[in-house]
Structure 1
């Protein structure tokens, strides 16, 4: 078994919204500016944080999840990254011990040191109690210290530091500042590509971090975080050669359809597919293709523009009438229905491929890891959406919960429509590499 070694850190927190992405991005940007090769990973099924982490590090960001992506996949990606990186950063998900599996499970499995980020804006002495609890709640976790975020003043920082039982765990404080705040909305962070000053914000965060003990770590200091990553004993099976050879898949990719796992793109290309990208918002024609992939995103935020692009709507309808395959997930599926109604009650006509309407709501409709059986086998993935569908279509199948988990209500529907059932759509976000043959079947005409 071969092994590779590299300094690595998992950025965690006691809950969501504490500033993990800001700190992970700032750390990546700081070391990238200093000439180090930085590789960043995101724990769990997240599409949005990787946009910021990619911009900060200059390298693609992949997901790590002991169930969805698989332990062997995690091991292989970390091992490969350590071969050529100077620093590996893994951003956690939710709170350190939240979820099954959790960020703590990932850290413990691979021996990753854990840095805790705490939003200290409304606390003083309790900061030390939280830090102590995160460090000692589970035996066997490597702890790299604690960073206070959204701190009011140097005096406030001193109070927080004094509350730690072990002062050596203090990694510094980031002051509250609009200069490097990352804006949010209902599904998470606003994408970096939507902001003209995204890199300015990251540089401001890196500059602030550079004044802390965490930000002042040099080459020798980073060796305290060294981790040895073994190659997996049983690596994932190679992608079936030629499963999509000779197939051209048109992939929607713009501000409305932006939830794309880098690993899913890799998987389709490894299967032999040629990918061509297009913008349903701006383009006037669907590219010549054998199959169509409509990923998730924010069709509700761009409903007026999507409704106005009649030429694109006609092109998609022509593709469907020709019996060519369509795989639409979450936001991509939403756009296929007759209508979308936004939270403020405004309604917009959509593409009319599927009968029914989609309604956005303020509360979360579904969240969690799930799996879906399709032609070719079972795909692992997850669901996360704020809308509901009203349709007369009967689901061909429904997702089931990940092992050891429970669903609230029925699983996500898989709708099949169009000539020869070529259109397949669901709120379910699939991780293609969990079953490449099943992923390929979504884009093949004779799959059912």
Structure 2
């Protein structure tokens, strides 16, 4: 049974600094010569980009509903065999959602670091920390870290107000050299943050003076023997668009394609690269095509090659932003419309209000595919949905799934390891 020191970084709510602390810890322990594996709780693409930058390794998603307890257990056991430290960034507040970060920690016996923003707060900090520690008896609190602290005197006040039995781990001072900027989908993509490496390095230096510079106790991760995947995609070449416009890609999805026997290559529509001519299928993931619409529309080498791929009847799976790229037209929040690929009839418009958010599952003859939706655009199309996804606690229709020839398109971001047979069917152009 593999074991490895592990911590889950959480807090009372979003905006406490979980990503900042997790990234800083990852870099700190790398600098101490340790191998660090980082995970992100829940469906997320942006935080993992920053965490990967800090840890130097791909960041997998851990979600008891989307990936399943067995899937999470396997990922943790594999990491424990390779790493000296496992760090998991939680999602929202510690007890928010079903399942939530506390459920994950309890399922695998992982101690929790509670990060609490102490801005405009004094002794109430201790009350919040105590509430988090006592709310559920099945979770173990490793200690409390104060963030956004105004001064050393402020930190002492917070520490003095912490109830007996709760470990004070230290604090991070408020600093413009640490804070990570935000955008409507959360954090910016890692490549877009000015001085990202410097920000993470400053955080790492600050955390070096806290108790979090020490390794926690090891956690044992039991896993069942892995069942080899049948090579349902043997001999296939699958091209994936990957750049600043198309970056919402679960590493587990790519790994699945490879385990199914496919050869995977990447290309950049934003750099006007052609889809490889021998590609049997194409994946257009989500991202920010609306921020790069003019460039994408003008990149003739990419657009021509993708249209030729579609004209040849080769399969295309397009999720969220990838689907918008296939439409006739995309309008940004300023009202500027840009002609897109025209491979799916319809138009989409960005809006300032969130259009859809939540976990989703798609039920087909191959079984269920889990995933999530998160988008700020609305879409109109004459196409009739072939399916509708549904929410985990409701039979209410969720995101539509469209099929046009060999194109499958939806707002839903699928977690492909939840249904390898369905993914293989889609990329082979089969009905589902």
TM-score range, shorter chain: over 0.9
TM-score (norm 2): 0.96
Counterparts of 1:197-346 in structure 2, within 5 Å, are: 197-215=195-213, 217=214, 222-223=215-216, 225-232=217-224, 237-240=227-230, 242-288=231-277, 289-346=279-336
Q: Which residue matches 2:400?
A: 413
Distance 1:30 1:126 in 2: 30
TM-score computed with the length of structure 1 as normaliser: 0.93
Whether the 8 Å contact between 2:181 and 2:193 is mirrored in structure 1 is no
How many residues matched? 431
Q: Distance in 2 between matches of 1:273 and 1:303?
A: 30
CA deviation after TM superposition for structure 1 residue 236, in Å: 6.0
Q: Is the 8 A contact 1:73 1:236 kept in 2?
A: no
Query: What is the alpha-carbon distance in structure 1 between the residues aligned to residue 211 and residue 228 of structure 2?
Result: 43
The structural deviation recorded for 1:156 is 1.6
**Where does structure 2 lack aligned partners over 5 or more consecutive residues?**
none
Q: Residues of 1 paired with 2:68 and 2:165: CA distance?
A: 37
Change (3 A) 1:64 1:247: same
Does structure 2 conserve the Cα–Cα contact (< 8 Å) formed by 1:18 and 1:117?
Answer: yes
Does the 8 Å contact 2:26/2:36 carry over to 1? yes
Task: Note the C-alpha offset of 1:375.
Answer: 5.6
| Segment drifting more, 314-323 vs 251-260 | 314-323
How far apart are the structure 1 equivalents of 2:364 and 2:154?
55
- 1:425 maps to 409
Mapping of 1:115-134 within 5 angstroms? 115-134=113-132
The 1:119/1:296 distance shift into structure 2, 3 A limit, reads same
User: Which 4+ residue blocks in structure 1 deviate beyond 4 angstroms?
Assistant: none
What are the superposed Cα offsets for residues 212-246 of structure 1, whole Å, 9 maximum, x if unpaired?
2323x2xxxx24x32111113xx564322x21111
Which stretch of the first structure deviates more once superposed, 367-376 or 157-166?
367-376
Name stretches of at least 5 consecutive residues in structure 1 with no aligned partner. Answer: none
SS of match in other structure, 2:347: strand
Is residue 161–residue 167 contact of structure 1 (8 Å, CA) maintained in 2?
A: no
Q: Give the 3 Å change call, closer, same or farther, for CA 211–167 of structure 1 in structure 2.
A: farther
Say which SS state the counterpart of residue 398 (structure 2) adopts.
coil
In 1, are the aligned partners of 2:9 and 2:90 still within 8 Å (CA)?
Answer: yes
Secondary structure at 1:286 match in 2 = coil
1:33 aligns with 2:31: yes
**Separation (CA, whole Å) in 2 of partners of 1:246 and 1:77:** 27
CA contact (8 A) 2:272 2:300 kept: no
Structure 1 residue 352: deviation in Å?
1.0
